[in-house]
Every structure is written in structure tokens, then in C-alpha cells.
Amino acid sequence: MLIQRQETKILATLGPASFSPEMIRALILKGTDGFRINMSHEKAGDLAARVQAVRSAAAQENAAVAVVVDLGGPKIRVGTLPNGQINLVDGGQPILGADIPVSHPEILTDIRPGHRILMDDGKLELEVLGVVPNGVKTRVRVGGLLLQGKGVNLPDTELRLPALTDKDIEDLAAAVRAEADYVSLSFVQRPGDLLLARREAERHGRCPLLIAKIEKPQAVDRFEEILKVSDGVMVARGDLGVEVSPARVPVLQKHFISRCNAQGKTVITATQMLESMIQNPRPTRAEASDVANAVWDGTDAVMLSGETAIGRYPLECVGMMRDIIAEAEKAAPHRREPFPDATRVHALASAAVDAAEELHARAIVIITLSGFTAQMVAQRRPSVPLIAVVPELRIRNRLALVWGILPVIVPWGDNSDGLLAGMEKILVASGYIQLKDTIIIISGSTRLRGADYIMKIQAPSEP
């Protein structure tokens, strides 16, 4: 059996349209590689059951499936309004904090004259005139009807809000207890936000991999520093497209993906990818092109939000995304970012990919304890299928969102000979390889004697 060649992974958001065990299982069968649990709409007490539902469905299908817990972060929203709404007239001068209450009034001390205040996904815009005793005086530049609960964005303001709200801290502890694979942090502004989350998670156990959501100008400006301390990045184009000009978003997306590829860190492209399929059974042509372009940019995964959380066609969305990925990958340009470092693992990864492509190998089989060696091979974006042989379910699930990786659990035993024999038996029995195939086997750092930093070419005897 040929290894399925869908390198770009699919991350689907759970919600009322997809909470049932039957739907989760059906989404996995359609091609979902991971599920996002959006804590903006969930309680910490319900998280363990959500994670267990995914784990059970994945086990039934013997599938590697990642769980991403997405913390809500310090999202600023319009507070309670008389009659639930207020009409903002162009040129009017409402006071933010009095006429327009906000969910985090402490931000008022960070706002300066000339700063922009955007509301309802940027549909409404205010300009700050100055500070007054009961808030911040503004002028309406783009007016309209403002409803309570709508989002507030301050693209010019560096906020001193804590990176984790009280709810985030509770949700993060629940994610650690539930053994989530990834936790994504919303509204990251600086590297210290990731470090704070890591320390907080470690108070409760093993820290999941941390994904920084890039959606504020401050994160754009500090991207390299944030990338260094994160395990991956989400290009969160929703709020990002409000806080910076929408014209910049495609360019920033390409830059962020390229930098993550160079570092071998997971990158997820998110928001409005097949938005119209919330209500319609087919996407727009522009949406199909958007997904394809993310694939060509080199993203590890593409994400569905409302499409699978609240949409009418969750299964059709995953199926359509899978089909677009398959077509895009047929025409994907060759990508191979240079390695930023020169270590044994990087040299091994490069050698394995070169050998596999020269010999037209069926696969590169990567023996990896932590998943790091597999990620470095994937970083080379080879044209050869990648199989990661891992010792435990935790690493298998993490690798489910990494480009091109098919993770397989193989019992390691206590010596390399036993591992290689058992590995070959399992891979052949599963139909991933055949005994006559040429495969490249590599191993990074392991706990087995004689199995560290090796590369083996396994091929039929030449006549």
C-alpha cells in the first residue's frame, strides 16, 4: 500500500456542530489531524471530557490526532450598554469608559491621544482626543450601530494587561491535567508572555507545547524573539487583519511561515479559510485559493474555526479542505529553507533527505524519542514520505500536526536490534512499506545503545 501523500495537516475547531462522539469520529475519517478547543466558549470543568472524547474517537480509528487548547486571552469587549446598543454618529465625541464601557477598564490608562480604537472587527473607528476624569474622550471617524459584547482593538496601544487572565490560568491548569498536546496563547505581545505561561503550566505538571498566536502589531514587531521561546506559531488572521492593514496580512503570513519553516517549528494558518461554508455546502473560489496559497507558503496545518464549530457542513468543510490540499500539493513549488544551525541532527536530516531523493526511496523512517529529529527532517520538505517511529502516544499525537509526518508507535525494547526488527514488522504489517522497498532509516538521540545519530540505507541487494 502506498503511503497517503497529504503533507499539510487539518486542524478543526470543536463546537456545537461537532461535539458528538459520532461527529468527531467522522471528522477524523474525513481527514482531520487535530482538534482545537476554544476556551473563549468553554469552561475549565468541561475540558477533560472534551479531550477524552477526541482521544476515544482517535483510539477507535487508531489515528494520530492532536488536541490544541486555545486560551481566550485578555480579549477586550464592549461592556453593557443601555438597550444593548449605541449609535455612533460620525464626528461625535463619546467617552470610552463612560458612554462606551469596556470589559477591561484598566486599559484606559494605556491609551494616548491620536491612538485608534477599532470596534466590531474594525467596522467602527474612533480617534482618541485625550484623557478626561471619567474615561478617554474620542471622536468617531467611522460610525454606525455598536452592540454590547463586540470586540475592541487598539492597534496603536501597547497594553499592560496580564498575558493570562484568571480564566486563562484556570483553563491552562485544566489543559495540563487533561494532557493536551498544545496550548495556544491569544494576544501575545512579548516573549515574556510565553515564559509566564510555561512557568504557570509547570506548576501543574508537564507543560504542553506552546503556540503563540500572532494577532497584534506588537507581536509582529517582536516576532523573532517570540519565535525563539515558542514551540510554534498560529497566524491568527482574524484580529491580525483588524490590528494591521488587511493589505499586509498576506505578506506577513508568508514571512511568518517562512521563518517557522527555517526554524523547524510548527506553524498553523487560521481564520476564515472556508468561512462561507458555515452556511453553504461549497466555498468561494477565493477561499479555495486562500487554502492553496497557505499550502504553497509551507504551512504545517490549516485551521477551520466556525466552519466545524457552528457550521451546517462540518464534514463537507474537512472534505473540501482535504481536496484543495491534495490539488495544491500536486503543484507545490519546491521549498527548502536553510538550517539556522549546524548540529548533528541537522546534518543527519539533510543527509537522509538527499539520500532518499537520490535513491527514490519509498520512505524516510525516523526513530525519534521526543519528535525533534522528525521535525528537522520535515523542515527539509522532502518529496519522500516521512514515517516517525515513536515510543509513546504523547509524541505521536504531537507529531500529528507536523507537515508530512506519519507517526507510528513501535515498542522500543532495550536494544537497537530489537527496535529495528519490531519496527520493520509493524510497518510491513500496516502496509506502510514492503520488504522489497528501499527506505532510509535515521535515528536522533535515543536511550538505546548504538542507536544515536545513525543513518541506514535499507535496500534490496543489487544484482
Active site residues: 36, 77, 213, 271
For residue 341, give every residue at least 6 positions away whose Cβ sits within 8 Å of its Cβ, in sequence order, or none.
none
Cα–Cα distance for residue pair 301/402, rounded to 1 Å: 7
76, 252, 418, 422 from 189: Cα distances, Å? 14, 16, 48, 47
CA-based max dimension of the chain: 89
Cα–Cα distance for residue pair 401/273, rounded to 1 Å: 17
For residue 46, give every residue at least 6 positions away whose Cβ sits within 8 Å of its Cβ, in sequence order, or none.
none
Torsion of CA 253, 254, 260, 262, to 10 degrees: -170
Per DSSP bridges, beta strands 85-88 and 144-147 are antiparallel
Q: How far apart are the first and last CA of the chain?
A: 25
Let me know: does 273 contact 293? Beta carbons within 8 Å. Answer: no
For residue 40, give every residue at least 6 positions away whose Cβ sits within 8 Å of its Cβ, in sequence order, or none.
70, 72, 75
> In Å, how far from its chain's centre is CA 181?
11
Cα–Cα distance for residue pair 424/382, rounded to 1 Å: 22
